[in-house]
Amino acid sequence: MNGFFNELKVQRWDDHRYYHHSKVNQALHFLSATSFLVAYVVAFSDPAMAALIGWLAAMTSRQVGHLFFEPRGYDRVNQATDAYKEEIKVGYNIKRKLVLLALWAASPLLLVADPTLLGTFAPHAGPAEFITHVGEIWLVVGLGGIAFRVVQLFILKDVRTGLVWATKIATDPFHDIKLYHRAPVELWRGQRFDQVLDEVIGDEIAEPVPVEATKSGV
């Protein structure tokens, strides 16, 4: 189990140091994480509404931070090119994210083409039922996106890497709040980028991982 949790720390640390330099991105991740926690609570009583919150609030704010505010040039802090970071990304890099987001955005069109979705739903009687059906589809898209990447990691890497990544995704909201709860205030004070990485977070890793060593398992 020590290996599992150390790999989880490595994946979290690499995700932070490679992809969260912008304070705007960090602040949006704090908003995203808070929204995801709300979705987690709502999921117990209304999974479709939880999916709507997860995609419209949590995922949208998270991906806006990555796509529009995170620097994509040479990473001088980690001495890594953007192409290198995209290549070694364990989860969804930019290209994979764009495919997933395209599937998410297009999925409600299935209900336009066939309100029953091949017999899965009774035809919606009004906007409220349509929105509920959209939420249920988005729930499947979200869980399916995670499951698809986990299986890919099983094949491309190993079973533990896939399980670690799934654990990271499920617990990211809690970890992001811990990491980025100060970001909105720091951004308000005029700090735009996090140039010096937090040594306390890095020390949580049992053994420091050199940049090149992460090529087989960010």
Domain spans of the chain? 2-216
> What is the number of other CB atoms lying within 10 angstroms of the CB of residue 198?
13
Torsion of CA 190, 192, 195, 198, to 10 degrees: 70
Print burial letters for 25-47: b (CB count within 10 Å at least 16), e (below 16): bbbbbbbbbbbbbbbbebbeeee
pLDDT in tens, the chain (218 residues): 788 999 999 999 999 999 999 999 999 999 999 999 999 999 999 999 999 999 999 999 999 999 999 988 888 888 899 999 999 999 999 999 999 999 999 999 999 999 998 888 888 889 999 999 999 999 999 999 999 999 999 999 999 999 999 999 999 999 999 999 999 999 999 988 885 554 433 444 444 444 444 444 44
Unique residue bearing structure tokens 């509404």: 49
Helical (H) or strand (E) element with 82: helix 82-88
- Residues 109 and 104: their CA atoms lie apart, in Å, by 10
